[in-house]
Every structure is written in C-alpha cells, then in structure tokens.
Amino acid sequence: MIVTLQIHRYVDEKKWIQEYKIEITKGLTILSALHEIKAKQDPSLSFTSSCRSSICGACAVRVNGHSELACEVLLDTLVKRYKTDVLIVEPLGNFRVIRDLIVDWDPKYEKMKKIEPSLHPKAEFTVKTGCKQSIEDFDKYKKYAGCILCGSCVSECNKSALNEKDFLDPFIFVKAAKLVEDSRDKDHKQHLKDVIEAGLWKCFNCQECTASCPKDLDPAGAIEKLKEATFKLEMASSVGSNHAKAIYDDIYNTGLLDESKLSVQSEGFISAAFRVPIAYRLMKTGKLDLFEKAPVNKDISKIRSIIDIAAKEDK
C-alpha cells in the first residue's frame, strides 16, 4: 500500500506543504519513513531523532493533528486509525519552529528553571550517607520520573496555545510534582510557591496533555496533585484556590453548587464588584436571584459520606 505524507516544511521563514509517496512495509514507523524520504527522495528534509526506542523523546511530531512519538507509531496503525492513506506530518505545536519538523527547546528549558528543578536535600543527608528513602516513598513519585521531555503534552496544551507567557508547560508541572512528592527534598513549599506564581491555577483542565503523553504520566493529574499540596501545606490563597474551596464548601454544605456566590467567594468583594453589570443583566432575565436561599440536596448525607470517604483514602 502506498501512503502519501504531507509534510509541513519551513526553511528560511518560508512555509509550504510537500508531498512524499512511500510504501508501507511491516514495522514501518513515521520515523523510519522520514529517514527513508531523507535518504532516497529529499536530503533537505530536516527532523530530529536519536534513540529510536521511545526513550529520548527527540522525534515527537504531530500527525493528523495529534502528537506522536515518530519512532513508536506505525504507519499502518495511523492509516487504520484515520481511515485514510494521506497523513499530515507537522512540527509540535506551541513551539517555535527552527526548520521543517525541528522545534526550539531553549525557551522551554529556561521556563523550567523557574521551579528550581533539582533536589534540595534535607540536612540529614550527607555525601557519605547519600539520600536514601524507602521504596514506599519512591513509589509516590517514580511515575513522574519517567518523563522523556518529548513535548507532546506542550503541543496539545490549550492554555499554552492561548497564552503561554503566564503558564508553565505541562511537563514542567510534572517535574515540580516529582519534587514535591519526594520525601528527600526540604523545600516543598519553595517548589510550590514557584509553580503557583507561574500559573498553576490557570490550567484549563482540558486533559489534552494526559491524553497525548506517550508514557501515560498523567500531567493533568500531576497539576491536580500540586493544587492539592497547596491546601495541605496551607499555601492556597489565590483566586483559583479560593474558587476550588468555594465549590468544595458548597457541595459539602448543601450538596449543590450556588454559582451566584462563586465570584465573591473566589475573587473577594472588590474584584467581584467589576462583575456587577453582568449580575444585573442576569437578574433582569431571571437567571440570577441574589436573595434566594440555596436549597439543600435531599441526599446531602450520602454526598458528605462520599466526600469523607474520599478524604480518608487520600490520606
């Protein structure tokens, strides 16, 4: 079977899409196809790769709008998935493109420095004794240690696509979660302070980073873990954390969400005052009644029981 690869090219600030025909053979991956094209059809095609074993993360690209490790995904699999013999290959999203499928990682590494991405060992550890910990403590964060810096999560992140200036990339939050969960580190609060200041509560929770991670690391889950840690360490004092607490209190107290009070509970009276025109329009149309007392769900005892059980299991 012959497949057409429509590859996004970028050279000297010129963009175009170039088509290449290639025959699918058993075990042919996107990366193998790119190498074959470069060797036999077009030596000017540029891309990055190294290990060819899903370990280094260097070869990640987007295929038909979804991030993939080029060395891992088979052409045959993609053809069956998308039910087409035309595949569009482009560089990762939310990166500056250097040439063709090569993207610039330098700005991402600079952003990572904001969380001080190294272990700050406790005073009890020395060069002689090392930084030992139990298997149980290691198991708490070992999943996050599996990040291969492929950039797939960044590519699919909707918050980064909208505005990346006030938000860290998902893989950086994974690195931060690893440090906060590490029992050997003495500066959990400092790492948390860094991620809060860098947009922790601005995550859209769209789950795209988790869906695209080739190592199943659940970056969205790591972000939620960090949010949870801000409450445990009494560092929750932002609009985002206030919003989360307001929702929790509403559900626990009444079993229902009273959205009419959320703005004040999240932002405070002064900031919420700027939303008065919106509240007025909602009141005129009958969609909001500030004086209506929120009802209590008839199953409130069951709801509280579920919340209490979840809280105990989390501990």
Average pLDDT over every residue of 222-236: 90
* pLDDT for residue 262: 79
> What are the tens digits of pLDDT across the range 63-106?
999 999 999 999 999 999 999 999 999 999 999 999 999 999 99
pTM for the structure as a whole: 0.86
Q: In this structure, are residues 210 and 220 in contact, taking their beta carbons and an 8 Å threshold?
A: yes
| Banded model confidence at residue 177, pLDDT cuts 50, 70, 90 | very high
- Here the tokens at position 241 are 């954390």
User: What is the pLDDT averaged over residues 127-136?
Assistant: 90
Amino acid of residue 308: D
Delimit the domains of the chain by residue range: 2-103, 106-232, 239-314
24 phi, psi to nearest 5 deg? -75, 125
**Residue 258: closest CA among 296, 231, 227:** 296
- Band (pLDDT 50/70/90 cuts) for residue 315 is low
How many Å apart are CA 212 and CA 216, to the nearest integer?
8
Q: Look at residue 273 in the predicted model and tell me its pLDDT.
A: 75
Burial 232-244, CB ≥16 within 10 A → b, else e? eeeebebebbbbb
Structural contact between residues 74 and 19, judged by C-beta atoms closer than 8 angstroms: no
The per-residue pLDDT for 70 is: 97
Name the CATH superfamily housing domain 2-103.
Beta-grasp domain (3.10.20.30)
The closest of 314, 297, 315, 313 to 252, measured between CA atoms, is: 297
For the ranges 27-41, 193-207, 288-302, the maximum mean pLDDT occurs at: 27-41
Fold annotation for 106-232: Fumarate Reductase Iron-sulfur Protein; Chain B, domain 2 (1.10.1060)
pLDDT confidence of residue 57: 95
